Structure formats: C-alpha cells, structure tokens
Structure 1
Amino acid sequence: MSSTGTIIRIAAKGDGVTADGRHVAGAAPGDIVREDGSLEPGPHHATPPCRHFANCGGCQLQHVDDEALRQFVTDRVVNAAEGQGVAIGQLLDTHLSPPRSRRRATLHAMKAGKGAVVGFRESGSHRIVDLAECHVIAPELFALVEPLRQFVAKHGGKGAVDIELALVDQGVDCSLKNLALEGLAATEAALEFAQDNGLARLTLDQGYGPEAMWEPEQLSVTFAGVPVPFPSSSFLQATRDAEELMVADAKRTLEGAKTIADLFAGLGTFAFHLAGPAKVLAAEAARDAHLACKTAAGISGKPVHALHRDLFRNPLMADEISRFDAVLLDPPRAGAKDQIGRIAESSIGRVAYVSCNPSSWARDAKRLVDAGFKLEQLRPVGQFRWSTHVELTSYFAR
C-alpha cells in the first residue's frame, strides 16, 4: 500500500507525529505510516531491549535509537524556551544517561496467588508489571526484585506495597510502605531479609510513619567529599553521571561568586560543591533534608549555612537576594514562580537554574528575561533514559 505520512518528530508524551499533525503511538522519526495505519520502520526505529516495553510504564521510548532520543530531549527543552520567546545564547550538548544507571526507583509489589509480583505499574493503570528484567535501574537495585518478590509473597497483605530503593554510600536503602508485619516471626523475617541481602537500611511504614528496622550504620550520600546523612525517602538526582554534569555546569557558570544562595537546596547536592571559597546559603523546606545538610556542614566545616524555609510560602525577598553575588535554584516540577519574581526584582546579576520540568522552567525563564536577564547557556539532560521526563541546566546573566 502507498504511504500516507512520515513521522517527523516525537511529541511530549512519546507519540510520533506526522507533518500534518497526526499522532501515532510507537512510532519513531523516519517511520512511514501506511494507509492501513501500520508502520514501516525507518532509520531511527530501534528494537526495544526489554521484554516488558509497551506494557511497563517505566519507559516510553525504547523503540527509538539514541540519535532520535537525544533529539527528543533537546527539542523538549528548546521548544519550551522558544514557546515563551526566550532566546538561547549557547545550546550545550544534550546529555543522556546510559542504561542501567538509575540509582533510585519506586517499585510496587502485591501478593498474587501463592507468589507475588514486583515492578513498575502499567502506563495509566494500577496493574503491576512483574519484572523479569530492567534496563534502566542499577543492577544493585534490580538484584533485590526477586528477594522482594519472595518476601512480599510470604508477608504482604491484601493491598499494594510501595517500594523505594536508593543507592547510597553504604549500599542499598530499601523502604517498604503499606506492609504491616504480623507477629514476632514476621519481624524477624524482615530483619533476616535485610541481613541476607546486605541492605544498608530497611525502613517499614506499617501505617504509623516510616521506622528504620535495620541500619547497621548511619546512611549518607557524599557531595564534594562531604558525607551527608540520608533521611529515608530523600531526594537524589536519578543518576550519578547527570548529577556530576549538573554540578559541573553550576560550578563553571557561577565561578568567581563569593556568596551564593542555593534555593530548594535539598540535602546540599549543589551547595557543598559550590562552597569554598564561596559562602553558600542552602535554603530548604523539608525539615529532614535541612537538618541533614546542617549537620554535614557543621561537621565538615564547609562554609554552608543551612536555612529551614518554605520558598513557596515564604520566598527570599528581593533585598535578601540582592546581598548575594549569584543564585542557584533547583525547584520541584511546579517551578519557582513566586521566588523567580523576587529574583527578577532584585539586583542579582547571575542565576543558575536547574529544572526537572521544561514547561515551568520556560515560564520562569521568561520572567527573568523580561527583567533584563539573558539566557546565556542551556543544556538538555535526559537522565530518565527512555522516558518522556526531561531535565535541564541553564544560566542567566543580566
């Protein structure tokens, strides 16, 4: 049959798009859409490496090659800027994290028959895809899937168990939510599970909040040689390679600044790298993360001052920001609308903005540009490989 259209790009949610605007699921740039709706694979159509692709909600883009994936990540960021009329000074190389490099993941588990299923949910569904393989999470995390399957089969309840895994300095941090242990034998089995699998920590939430059941030594993550305590469920950049690149971009663009305000600082991912000789204010709303950053700063002697402050409800005011040489911010997906407004009103001349949402970032970027800033550098980052989730680093100067 004759062709009716060629896929020219990938839309934000992962569908292929033809020149006349039709969306086609599972299509890659260069694919041809036949009259019957079937696809003739083009040069950028790849064979998905994972047997669960198309069912598992963890990945949306395993059917495209790296060139098309890199272009998708780039386009998401560039189009967001251009959509707000923000001119890009220098577009830096797009970064893609390699397979099996994700160091944190949230899985789900549920008893099924005499066994259990463990994995990501299907896209748009509560159904759990029982993982036999995974090409995105680190091998150390995937190694726990089968032991978790056996443990939940024996001790899980009727509902789904939420599993948070993270790689920290001491090994794997495992947190189980919605799992109530009945009796001493079940509690002892949980401790044996942690010990047998070499967990750095096992945390259970049995309906009364998280409780560490196994933690031979206090967990930490290291930033710039500083071990920072790691509270359960704390935020980490998804991959080490992306974190290193983001930090390098921030250090390069803010070089020479003597005082820096790190806003939405978390555990201090950027603050400890930027500190020395610069003095850094690390502002964070989450109390556990704030206290971890404060503790590490006190022990290390690094010039980091940790401030507990909700920047959504109580942003730094323009006069407070004007006391610094530069600002770095890494807000949640909603962006930093009110805080950006105060930055725009200040006399600050340098802003490094790390974002996990190109859309909210572009809105904030326009506010900065309208206030006299120029977007000097922009880097798209795809650390959630084969996902439509895209991140970026950027640098603005007046």
Structure 2
Amino acid sequence: MTDPEPAAATVVRVAARGEGVTADGRHVSHAAPGDHVAPDGTLVRGPHHQTPPCRHFPECGGCQLQHLDDAAYAAFVAARVTTALAAQDLEAPVRAPILSPPHSRRRATLHAERRGRQVHLGFAEARSHRLIDIAECPILDPRLFALVQPLRGLLAAMLPRSGRVDVHLALADQGPDVLVTGHDFEGLRAAEAITAFALRHGLARFAVDDGMGPESRFEPEPVTITLAGVPVALPPAAFLQATADGEAALAAAAREVASGATTVADLFAGLGTFTFAMPATARVYAAEGARDAVLALKAAGNAMQRRVFVEHRDLYRRPLDTAELERFDCVLLDPPRAGAREQATALAASRVRRIGYISCNPSTFVRDAKMLCEGGHRLDWVQPVGQFRWSTHVELAAQFSRD
C-alpha cells in the first residue's frame, strides 16, 4: 500500500460537527484547513491552526473549534450556511459572517456536583456527562466567570452528597442573574447564605427551582433586560440572545427586512428582541407561546406606549393562516431549533411581500426556506452570525421577498 498523496492528505474544510476533512474524505479530530496528515497519522499544523486559548480544550464540551484562527472560524460559519443551502438546491448571496468576540457570552448553563467536600462547577465533557471543573473560560463575560469560584463555596455548604444541579447564569441590567435548578435550598441558614452571597457579589437576582418553577430568593428590585432601548422584565431562565453583539447583528438584519413597513408581525417573539427593534411608528403584532415572556413583552410595550399588540399563541398548534398573514407588510419569525414548518407552510401560500427569518439551526432553516421559495418567495440574502464563539452552533438572518 502506497502512502497517500500529499494533496489528498491536506485538510480542506471543517465538517458540521467540527472535524477536519481531508481532500480524500478522511475526518480528522481537531484539524484546521491547511493542516496535513502525515503517513504515520501525525497531524502537521498548517497556517490556520492556532494554539487553543483555553487549558480545558478539547475535553470541555463548551467549545469545539478553538484550534481555528479567526479566518478559518469565519469560513466555517459561512460554510455551515452555504452547505445547508446547497443541500436544498437553494442559492442566495451569503454575507460575511458577524462573529462575537471572546469573553462576550452573557448567558450560560453550568453544572455543579459535589465530590467529597468540594464542588466541581463547569461544562460537561464533549460527548460525555463527565464534568469539567473549569479554571478559566475564554467565552464567558468576565462578570459571569467571576462568580464561578464563589459559587463553588456557596454550593459546597448547601448541596446534597450526590446528584447534580444546573446553574444558569445571565447578565441583566441590574447585574448577574443566577438560577439554580435541581435542588431546593430550604431553611433559614440557606436563606441567609444566599442573601449574603448575593449582596457580596452584586447579584441582580438569585432564584432556585426544585422542579415546581423558579422562585426568587433574592431580588431587591425587578430584574430587566434592555432590548433596543426598552427595559423588559427578565423572567428566570428566559431566552436571551447569547451575546449583545449577536443580538445587535440579528436586530439590525430584522430592521433591514422591515424597512418601510408600517405593519409587522413578529412570530416567536420571546421578550421582544425584534419587536422593539422595529421603528416606534410601526404597528407590531407579537405572538409568543411562553406565558412569562408574553406578560413581560406586553407590560414593556404598554410602559413605553409602543404600538404593540401581544398574543399568547402556540404557533406550532395554531400558526397564523394566510388571511391573517396578509394583513402585514412584513413578517418576522425566530423559531426554536426545530424550525417553523407549520408556519412556513402558511407563509409559502401567502402574498406577504417581505419575510425575515432568524434561525439558530441552518438545517431546519433551509427546509423551511425551500417551502417559501417553492411558494413563489425569493431568498434575497443570508447573514450568518457566530455568537457562540468557537462552537459549531451557527445562527443566521435571511430576507425573502415577492412581487
């Protein structure tokens, strides 16, 4: 057997799950474009292979692509979109990716478990449930990472001997927001410890959820998140775009799609990330299935005297029909990872002039985009957004139009 040709052993792209792929189709873990696989299997680093910035890579499952330099990472984000489009025989201009910088994640979920007298706190190992006790994290906002070691101390005094809890961290207008799920911290001693911890570290809120729903144990003033200049109540564990940069990029794309529209439908509206990004003069209908988000969105719109009508509506069971959709100049939708097959079916049959689709899953996006295009809508452009730095998770915004 002869050794592979050098060109065939060169890594030419990164697959969707993060492995490098050689010209002859071999998948190689932790390889970057331009790397070379020697005949003995050794990986020879190329010009786009950087030294990973975190000591926990590649064991930690929070990141898969820290070995890529910025150019290779941007190319990966763009390729996730172009490859998905090609799989459905779709074509559109794909804009240069917008990438969130390191240390910009404003929400994350860590896991905590007791090991003897100590508590380990961090992310799960890649493709495993084993916990990586993080000593550094180049993706988290420093204000959140600063809580990691103090939380270990607090939880060491409160967690049971076995089991694991989740620690949800987010940055609100008032400071860090902490929610611990999977255990109830009962008693005066726990209440005093939580209050002292929250005051010492400037928390906006500390909440717990033992399975019966979040309960705030410390919240000196209502916790909010400002979206496009509008302060909105932030329920514990509510959905929030992962970075402020990512939110700004997606909101800018939504505004571009809705430019000139006087009536806009914002479907899967959440807390109103795109509702409040619309011009204050526009009339916006916002539909959302999560009750807490609906109440927060409605209250914020009323307080700011915005022309916003909010409906609590499950768009999977009851999507807007064609007649309802055609009341609007523009329709925006930002569904979960499963996409919006039911709503896209109705949109495909409609005469809505402009549609903006924000997606956190290129695969389900192109499935829905195919239906829209087959219904007579044009895919005008796609904007990739990489706000989950160094992960294989890619988001995008796209515009559809029709005459």
1:41 equivalent in alignment to 2:45: yes
Deviation per CA, 1:139-163: give whole Å up to 9, x if none.
0100000011111111111211100
1:284-319 deviation per Cα after TM superposition (whole angstroms, max 9, x unaligned): 000000110011111110111111100001000010
SS at match of 1:180: coil
Asked whether 1:12 is paired with 2:27, we answer: no
Pairwise CA distance, 1:346: 1.3
Matches within 5 A, 1:277-296: 277-296=281-300
| Offset at residue 181 of structure 1 (A) | 2.3
The CA deviation string for residues 199-258 of structure 1, in whole angstroms up to 9 with x for no partner, is 100001134321100000001111222111111110111010111111111112211111
Q: Which residue of 2 aligns with 1:306?
A: 310
Per-residue CA deviation, residues 86-133 of structure 1 (Å, 9 max, x unaligned), is 120x32221111000010000011111221111011011111111110
**Counterpart contact for 2:249–2:385, Cα < 8 Å:** no
- 1:187 Cα deviation after fit: 2.3
User: In 2, Cα distance between the equivalents of 1:151 and 1:161?
Assistant: 13
Instruction: Give the distance between the partners of 2:199 and 2:209, measured in 1 at CA.
Output: 19
Cα distance in 2 for partners of 1:234, 1:305 equals 20
Matched, 1:76 2:64: no
Deviation at 1:182, TM superposition (A): 4.6
Paired position in structure 2 for 1:390: 394
The answer to which of 222-231 and 100-109 deviates more is: 222-231
Q: Distance in 2 between matches of 1:389 and 1:225?
A: 28
Match of 2:112 in 1: 109
Pick from 194, 207, 216: which aligns with 1:203?
207
Structure 1 residue runs without a partner (length 5+): none
1:107 and 1:168 map into 2 onto residues whose CA distance is 17
Equivalent residue for 1:91? 94
Aligned residue identity for 2:396: L
Aligned to 2:144: 141
TM-score for the superposition, normalised by structure 2: 0.97
- Note if contact 1:33-1:39 (Cα within 8 Å) is conserved in structure 2: yes
* 8 Å contact from structure 1 (residues 275, 304) kept in 2: no
Match of 2:191 among 170, 180, 187: 187
Whether contact under 8 Å (1:10, 1:29) holds in the other structure is yes
Amino acid in structure 2 at the alignment position of 1:233: A
Q: What secondary structure sits across from 2:276 in the alignment?
A: helix
| Closer, same or farther: CA 45–312 of 1 in aligned 2, 3 Å | same
For residues 200 and 394 of structure 2, what CA distance do their matches in structure 1 show? 37
Report runs of 4+ in structure 1 exceeding 4 Å deviation: 1-4
Contact 1:156 1:180 in 2 (8 A): no
Q: 2:136 & 2:13 partners in 1: Cα distance?
A: 29
SS in 2 for 1:75: helix
Quick check: 1:178–1:205 contact (8 Å CA) kept in 2? yes
Deviations 1:61-96 (A, max 9, x none): 0011000000000000011112111120x3222111
Task: Provide the C-alpha distance between the structure 2 equivalents of 1:267 and 1:99, rounded to a whole number of angstroms.
Answer: 25
Instruction: Tell me, in whole angstroms, the C-alpha distance in 2 between the residues paired with 1:154 and 1:310.
Output: 42
Distance 2:222 2:381 in 1: 39
Unaligned 5+ residue runs, structure 2? Answer: none
In the alignment, is the contact (CA less than 8 A) between 2:10 and 2:23 conserved in 1?
yes
Aligned counterparts of 1:286 and 1:226: Cα–Cα separation in 2: 20
Is 1:120 aligned to 2:123, yes or no?
A: yes
Is the CA contact (8 Å cut-off) linking 2:339 and 2:364 kept in structure 1? yes
Residue 276 of structure 1, CA deviation: 2.0
Deviation digits for residues 135-194 of structure 1 (CA, Å, limit 9, x no counterpart): 001001000000111111111112111000011111111000122325321221122111
2:78–2:94 Cα contact (<8 Å) kept = no
Give the TM-score normalised by structure 1.
0.98
Contact 1:77 1:358 in 2 (8 A): yes
3-state secondary structure, aligned to 1:274: coil
Alpha-carbon RMSD: 1.2
CA distance in 1, matches of 2:186, 2:265: 48
Question: Of 323, 330, 351, which residue of structure 2 is paired with 1:326?
Answer: 330
